[in-house]
Amino acid sequence: MAGDGWRDVFLEDLAAPIRNALVGGPFGSDLVSNDYQPSGVPVIRGENLSDGRWVSGDFVFVSSEKAKRLEANTAGESDIIFTQRGANHYRQVAVVSPDERHRFLISQSQMKLTVDRRVADPLFVYYLFRAPEQQEYLQRNAISTGVPHTNLSILRKVPLCIPTIDIQLAIVSILGALDDKIELNRRMNETLEAMARALFKSWFVDFDPVRAKAEGRDPGLPMPLADLFPACLVDSELGEIPEGWSISSVHGASEQLRDQTNPFDLPNELFHHYSIPAFDNGQHPVVEFGNMIRSMKFRVPNKTVLFSKLNPEIKRVWLADPDPGDQAICSTEFLVLRPKLPYGRGFVYCLLCSPEFRESVRVVTTGTSNSHQRARADSVLAIPIPRAPATVVEHFEQLVEPIVKRLLASQRESRTLAALRDALLPKLISGEIRVTDAERLIAEAAA
């Protein structure tokens, strides 16, 4: 749609007039896993483009010397990063935060654009590539031989329609305000989750109240609660555990649900699909018709916890929160775990997220390729854990369940905000509705 202040361009027309403004990642042999080290220059990979607008998450690092040799493949503040390959690569795009002071190296599977600020705003370009029409274009034009991918030549010639800078900035202001609230909720949820996991670690991993009592220190708990913990540790097959505790397993704290369904048999019904790509893309289940889902799935009841057995080195633990009327399903790559009393979802979630448990899963994982590693369900369920008295577990759940409820309420609000953003996005960036109309719709939704 050109005209009325809008004009047709190719992506390459938006590149800054500098060297390597639009560039792909290093040649394969120039960056390998052996180059990674505990600290140094962070490397942007696909998983760093899965959590909102900004490049974020857990990074791997290379030495500054290595990054210097690959300087042409680096990215800095406000650069746009695209994923080059993979079944859903066309959905992975993010921006290096304008507040970011790091210089990043992009991996072999990424591409980078430094935008010419005289003609385009980086966040406006980001939102262009978040629009369904643009993603469909990339999907249609991807090279399908082998792993689907978009190369630099294709990216350069992606057709776009952009308005004047002032209109771009106004659109970014509208969509950015919604994303800001979503980001605020995400940070609050990180804090809430950290609180729950810290309490879990203190009570069930480090046994802090027991150690404090054994050393004659104040355990820092109300007296009735402190009295539930013994004053010494004893040896067990797991090492030291509190006196009077025993050894159980993941299966002792939760049961695996295996109720399967084939959504394709109900082509016109809507399903809330807890898929691995949906988890990676912000932990929002995708709502889609049954005719779009072509394999068997597990049903997902409320108050269950999902644990991915596929590539478990990537932490994918999901507190499922479907509404009562939802047809909620998940990939069979997830274990659907329902807590057994006295355990609740707070305990099971914290257990599955704990580094100690994840190390145990790593030991029982099979497969040599990072893209095809799996943990067997029976092996995960058999992982031993300390078993505390029911009264201790019940008090933990009483403290953590309100945190879980706040976390889930925040996630529901973010899903609503994301749905509004996604409804407005294609209309705003195509010029179908004006900024003033979008502001009115947001005000009405908030009323």
What CA dihedral angle connects 320, 322, 324 and 327, to 10 degrees?
-110
pLDDT at residue 102 in the model:
87
CB 218 within 8 A of CB 212: yes
Whole-number pLDDT of residue 79: 97
Q: Are 4 and 131 in contact (CB under 8 A)?
A: no
Q: Is 131 in contact with 162 (CB distance < 8 Å)?
A: no
Q: What is the CATH number of the domain that holds 87?
A: 3.90.220.20
Are 51 and 101 contained in the same domain? yes
Residue 405 forms part of a structural domain: no
What is the percent of the chain with per-residue pLDDT over 70, rounded to a whole number?
A: 98
> Does some domain include residue 380?
yes
Q: What is the DSSP string of 103-134?
A: -EEE-TTEEEE-B-TTT--HHHHHHHHHSHHH
| Judgement on whether residues 203 and 323 belong to the same structural domain of the protein | yes
Quick: pLDDT tens for 343-387.
999 999 999 999 999 999 998 888 765 557 889 999 999 999 999
> Do residue 38 and residue 117 come from a single domain?
yes
Model pLDDT, residue 371: 57
- Beta-carbon contacts of residue 434 (< 8 Å; ≥ 6 apart): none
Same domain, yes or no: 50 and 92: yes
Instruction: Quote the tokens at residue 88.
Output: 């859903």
Spell out the per-residue pLDDT of the chain, length 447, in tens: 445 779 999 999 999 999 999 999 998 889 998 999 999 999 999 989 977 899 998 899 999 999 999 999 999 999 999 999 887 788 899 999 999 888 999 999 999 999 999 999 999 999 999 998 898 999 999 898 888 889 999 999 999 999 999 999 999 999 999 999 999 999 999 999 999 999 999 999 999 999 999 999 999 999 999 999 999 999 999 999 999 999 999 999 999 999 999 999 999 999 999 999 889 877 889 999 999 998 999 999 999 999 999 888 888 999 999 998 899 999 999 999 999 999 999 999 999 999 999 999 998 888 765 557 889 999 999 999 999 999 999 999 999 999 999 999 999 999 899 889 999 999 998 888 888 888 888 887 776
Q: Is residue 99 part of a domain?
A: yes
Domain membership flag for residue 415 = no
The domain in which residue 120 lies consists of 8-162
Q: 287-306, pLDDT tens digit by residue?
A: 999 999 989 999 999 999 99
In the numeric block, which tokens belong to residue 276?
Answer: 């691995």
**Cross-strand pairs, 103:** none
| Domain tally, the chain | 2
Domain membership of residue 18 (yes or no) is yes
Whether residue 92 sits in one domain with residue 130: yes
Q: Are residues 325 and 216 in the same domain?
A: yes
**At CB < 8 A and 24+ separation, what contacts does 412-419 make?**
412/321, 413/185, 414/181, 414/182, 414/185, 414/186, 414/282, 414/284, 415/284, 417/178, 417/181, 417/182, 417/185, 418/178, 418/182, 418/282, 418/284
Encoding tokens for residue 73? 């493949």
CA separation for the pair 309, 317 (Å, rounded): 10
pTM over 0.85: no
* Same domain membership, residue 301 and residue 158: no
- Cβ neighbors of 357 (< 8 A, separation 6 or more) are 351, 383, 385
Q: Is residue 151 domain-shared with residue 26, that is, in the same domain?
A: yes
Q: Quote the pLDDT of residue 366.
A: 81
Calpha distance 233→210 (Å, rounded): 7
Orientation of helix 435-446 relative to helix 390-429, angle to 10°: 150
209 in a domain, yes or no? yes
DSSP three-state, residue 196 = helix
∠ CA 389-393-397, nearest 5°, is: 165
CB 94 within 8 A of CB 179: no
3-state SS, one letter per residue, for 326-365: CCEEECCCEEEEEECCCCCHHHHHHHHHCHHHHHHHHHHE
| Same domain? 307 vs 370 | yes
Same domain for 268 and 368, yes or no, is yes
The domain boundary residue, chosen from 378, 399, 420: 399
287 in a structural domain: yes
Residue 420 placed within a domain? no
Nearest to 169 by CA among 212, 214, 120, 202: 120
Residue given tokens 């390459």 in the structure block: 12
Query: Is residue 84 a contact partner of residue 110, using CB atoms and an 8 Å limit?
Result: yes
List, for residues 189-235, the tens digit of each pLDDT value: 999 999 999 999 999 999 999 999 999 999 999 999 999 999 999 99
The three-point CA angle 291-296-300 to 5° equals 100
Task: For residues 148 and 197, state if they share a domain.
Answer: no
Strand order in the sheet with 317-319: 254-257, 334-339, 305-308, 317-319
In this structure, the answer to whether residues 138 and 15 fall within a common structural domain is: yes
Is the C-alpha dihedral spanning 360, 363, 366, 371 positive or negative? positive
